[in-house]
């Protein structure tokens, strides 16, 4: 998985980077809130580790901006001892979990695994919006009672839309949620597969939000 570490303390950032790479993850590091917003809003990261004590802006503001701009990946915040109010606020703003420094690296990995399992479970049940029905266990999709045959990629993309009805999803969001892959700004792969889905499902379900991404209508 591709991980973004937002941490200005060199020793901790290096410790996290080495540990995550040793477990097979691809890691990118930034040390400021502005850099986190630039990278986090444009790249398909599987999850973000965010320190609340950044030199240029409050980590809570970074978290708020990421969520406001549609970043859907899990965010794990790091805080100092005694920052109970900030940790509560971070969870209210959309953080997936909080760790108090110092912490054991294995605990971080366990919390990441637990969060990713929880997200996978949310996508495991049958999903239905309007006339679309998706059964992930049987790998079946129907529209108005009519079975529709989808490729594996089309199925995963539709599953991502159904899990976020009415929400605008950017290309990088869809790549991360549906296919767990990095975002290539030059690629039009999402547009191609959205076109495939519209052709098979009907054009009224998925709408293009100019300059932002795509949205599944949730009428």
Maximum average pLDDT range among 37-51, 138-152, 164-178, 194-208: 194-208
User: What pTM was computed for the model?
Assistant: 0.60
**What is the rounded distance in angstroms from the CA atom of residue 193 to the CA atom of residue 203?**
13
Q: What is the pLDDT of residue 187?
A: 74
**What is the rounded distance in angstroms from the CA atom of residue 189 to the CA atom of residue 28?**
24
Q: Which of 22-26, 88-92, 113-117, 208-212 has the lowest mean pLDDT?
A: 113-117
Bridge partner list, 143: 132, 146
Q: What is the pLDDT of residue 178?
A: 77
Handedness of CA 20, 43, 83, 86 (dihedral sign): negative
Per-residue confidence at 182, pLDDT binned at 50, 70, 90? low
Domains and CATH numbers, the chain: 2-121 (3.40.50.2300), 127-216 (1.10.10.10)
Read off the pLDDT of each residue in 121-126 and give the average, rounded to a whole number: 62
**What is the rounded distance in angstroms from the CA atom of residue 112 to the CA atom of residue 24?**
14
% helix, strand, coil for the chain, step of 5: 40, 20, 35
**What is the rounded distance in angstroms from the CA atom of residue 207 to the CA atom of residue 15?**
43
**What is the rounded distance in angstroms from the CA atom of residue 194 to the CA atom of residue 86?**
40
Nearest to 132 by CA among 121, 119, 148: 148
For residue 106, give every residue at least 6 positions away whose Cβ sits within 8 Å of its Cβ, in sequence order, or none: none
């Amino acid at each position: 998985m591709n991980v973004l570490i937002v941490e200005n303390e060199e020793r901790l950032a290096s410790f996290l980077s080495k540990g995550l790479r040793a477990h097979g993850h691809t890691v990118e590091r930034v040390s400021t809130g502005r850099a986190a917003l630039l990278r986090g809003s444009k790249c398909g990261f599987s999850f973000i580790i965010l320190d609340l004590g950044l030199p240029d802006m409050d980590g809570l503001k970074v978290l708020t901006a990421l969520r406001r701009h549609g970043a859907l990946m899990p965010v794990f915040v790091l805080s100092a001892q005694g920052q109970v109010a900030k940790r509560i606020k971070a969870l209210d703003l959309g953080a997936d979990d909080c760790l108090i420094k110092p912490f054991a690296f294995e605990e971080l990995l366990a919390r990441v695994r637990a969060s990713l399992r929880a997200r996978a479970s949310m996508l495991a049940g049958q999903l239905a919006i309007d006339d679309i029905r998706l059964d992930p266990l049987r790998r079946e999709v129907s529209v108005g009672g009519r079975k529709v045959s989808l490729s594996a990629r089309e199925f995963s993309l539709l599953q991502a839309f159904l899990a976020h009805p009415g929400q605008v999803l950017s290309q990088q969001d869809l790549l991360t949620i549906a296919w767990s892959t990095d975002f290539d700004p030059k690629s039009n792969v999402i547009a191609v597969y959205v076109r495939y889905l519209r052709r098979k499902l009907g054009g009224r379900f998925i709408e293009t939000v100019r300059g932002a991404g795509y949205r599944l209508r949730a009428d």
